[in-house]
A and B are shown apart, each in its own frame.
Chain A
Amino acid sequence: MVHQDSSLARPSIRSHLRALWFITVNNWKHHWRYPLNAVSEVLQPLVWLAPVYFMGQAFSVNGKAEGFAGYAGTSDYMSFIILGTALSNFIMAVFWGMGFSLKWDMDGGVLEANWLAPLPRPLLLMGKTFSSVATTLITSLVMLGIAASIWGFHPTGNVLAAVLTVVPLLIGLYGFGFAFAALVLLLREANTLVDTGSFVVQLLAGANFPVNVLPKWLLPLSLALPLTYGFDAVRGWLLKTKTLLPLQTEIVILVVFMFLMIFLGLRAFNALERHVRRKGTVGQY
């Protein structure tokens, strides 16, 4: 009896890792269980890219956007946009996927049961993060491949440096996702917030244009967003565009952003955990 009790209550690093693996696999399976949604995630950005491409044609001569080069440092408008769209997929994944992950568990009636498992609660979101990064990466690469074959994508710079720059950017973004998931769970009806928030963040981070074209009253908001430097640095490495700050400075900002977001994300999540335990509202929706 004593042995049984202790085995149930004795979590170890190994049991945590096993749980993390199963949470990841669970989310992974859930994602691919709806193949039409996965196809839609690839097609949606392409549908948005087409009007942007034709608009570019209306300003370009012989496929060269010379006016655009004055701001971005490259006349390869479509490579700039396609790369921004691929990175934006992660913003959408964090806002919609991570943001609603706890809420969906709550609506599905499994949050309370998961919450009772002898696990550190942040593991629930970490598993979701791993699965989300993997599925969004696959979706983005497929989208990038199709977009490249239709409109052309010409990375002329350092691919490895660009990939390494993406790492702190994504970790920071998913750290923010922890805090955002907590907020969505508290608000319950957050569709407008998520819809508008994700659009505004994409706009201010310069997903589809160089941010120096923003009006003076909006530019400070954009420059206060670490994601802006992430987008800028990745484009700087891969497409050799003009960057807002020296690349090294932008990477330092991204690394600071990463640690700050991990810290704030965990703090917000722990605060939520205390709140729902005290109020007993984890099973309500």
Chain B
Amino acid sequence: MQSTLTNEGLVAARSLSRTSLLAHLRAFWAVTWREWYHFVRYPTWVIAFVIWPILFPAMYIMGAFSLAGPQGTGITRFTEVTGTANYLGYIVVGTTVWMWANTMLWNTGLVLREERMRGTLESNWMSPTSRFFFVLGAGPVHAATMLMFVFATVVEFRLFFGTQFNANLGTLLVVALCSMPALYGLGFSFASLVITAREANTFVFLIRGLVMIFCGITYPLSVMPAWMQSVSTWLPPTIIIRAARAAALNNAPLSSLTSDLTLLLIHGAVWLSLGYILFTLIERSARRKGSLGSY
């Protein structure tokens, strides 16, 4: 049978199944472009970009204003436990970093979920490209949009609340870069959950909420019970928020955050490996059961 094939036929057959790193990178690039087109095609994101950076922290900020009191009596206690009287900056950095880390964490899983809802997951999965690169493709666009989001947050809080930042931008950038492997790793683990559980919304919400409680977005960890403090030290978002606060409010140099950054990189190595293994195993199992496209 093989002898009847022409040379052209053989080349074509081989090119379809012959995946290389370059082919994977091309697929990754194509997914990135698709995500970008998808993003600019629905301009309602502008509303979200203008409103949410200020709306989400506003609930906590107004709460903090009321707790501080008309004469600022509550600020003394806050300064004692946090080491800063700039409670507005403390909350803004905490909530903004949480929103960023939160979307980084769940984005991978949500991309898969959207694909499944649109009915394109199965056909994309059949293409001879690495699933890992396929899922990773949404990352760059997401990172770019989140950068715009953070920029909008800073501008809006400077304008409307006169929030003071004393930021070391270089350190802040390194913190963000060192955070990514851990967040992507956790994101892959979550993506495995999306493949396994068809309706994961409630579960996702609870996990998301629990992470928000433990990582101290608007308060220092010292106000939590000891057992909660022990749990929170193991969560990458806790370390990210702590490091980002130091960089954005205290102009912390890179050298002062070495231990946090090392911890983040260790988390990154562990979670990325674990996430990759978990994702590969569960994806293979879903393919075997034929449950990829069902929801």
**Residues of chain A having any CB pair with chain B under 8 Å:** 36-37, 39-40, 43-44, 47-48, 50-52, 54-61, 65-72, 77, 81, 192, 196, 199-200, 202-203, 208-210, 213-215
A71–B69 Cα distance when bound, in Å, is 6
Interface presence of B293 (CB below 8 A): no
A208–B67 Cα distance when bound, in Å, is 11
Interface presence of B78 (CB below 8 A): yes
Interface presence of B174 (CB below 8 A): no
Interface presence of B224 (CB below 8 A): yes
Known contacts A51-B217, A71-B66, A196-B51; is A43 also within 8 Å of B77 by CB?
no
Give the residue of B64, B205, B206, B224 whose beta carbon is less than 8 angstroms from that of A59. B64
Q: Check if B70 sits within 8 Å of A70, measured CB to CB.
A: yes
A–B complex contacts, Cβ < 8 Å, 15 sampled:
A40-B202, A52-B63, A54-B219, A55-B91, A59-B67, A66-B73, A66-B74, A67-B69, A67-B74, A68-B74, A70-B69, A70-B70, A196-B51, A203-B58, A209-B63
List, in ascending order, chain B residues with CB within 8 A of A43's CB. Answer: 206, 209
A203–B67 Cα distance when bound, in Å, is 16
Question: Chain A interface mostly helix, strand, loop or mixed?
Answer: helix
Interface presence of B153 (CB below 8 A): no
Q: Check if A69 sits within 8 Å of B51, measured CB to CB.
A: no
List, in ascending order, chain A residues with CB within 8 A of B205's CB. Answer: 40, 44, 47
Which residues of chain B from 203 to 245 have any CB-CB distance to chain A below 8 Å in the complex?
A: 205-206, 209-210, 212-213, 216-220, 223-224
Closest to A61 in B: B77
List, in ascending order, chain A residues with CB within 8 A of B60's CB. Answer: 51-52, 55
A49–B170 Cα distance when bound, in Å, is 35
List, in ascending order, chain A residues with CB within 8 A of B206's CB. Answer: 40, 43, 47
Known: A55-B63, A213-B62. 16 other contacts (CB 8 A): A40-B205, A40-B206, A52-B63, A55-B60, A58-B67, A58-B77, A59-B74, A59-B78, A60-B74, A60-B77, A67-B70, A69-B69, A70-B69, A70-B71, A200-B55, A209-B66
Known contacts A68-B74, A203-B62, A209-B62; is A54 also within 8 Å of B69 by CB?
no
Interface presence of B75 (CB below 8 A): yes
Q: Check if A192 sits within 8 Å of B47, measured CB to CB.
A: yes
Q: Check if A65 sits within 8 Å of B218, measured CB to CB.
A: no
Which residues of chain B from 175 to 225 have any CB-CB distance to chain A below 8 Å in the complex?
A: 202, 205-206, 209-210, 212-213, 216-220, 223-224
Known contacts A59-B78, A192-B44; is A66 also within 8 Å of B218 by CB?
no
Closest to B216 in A: A54
User: Which of B62, B82, B213, B223 has most chain A Cβ within 10 Å?
Assistant: B62
CB distance from A235 to the nearest CB of B (A): 13
**10 closest A-B pairs by CB:** A67-B69, A67-B74, A47-B209, A59-B67, A59-B74, A70-B69, A213-B65, A57-B223, A209-B66, A58-B219
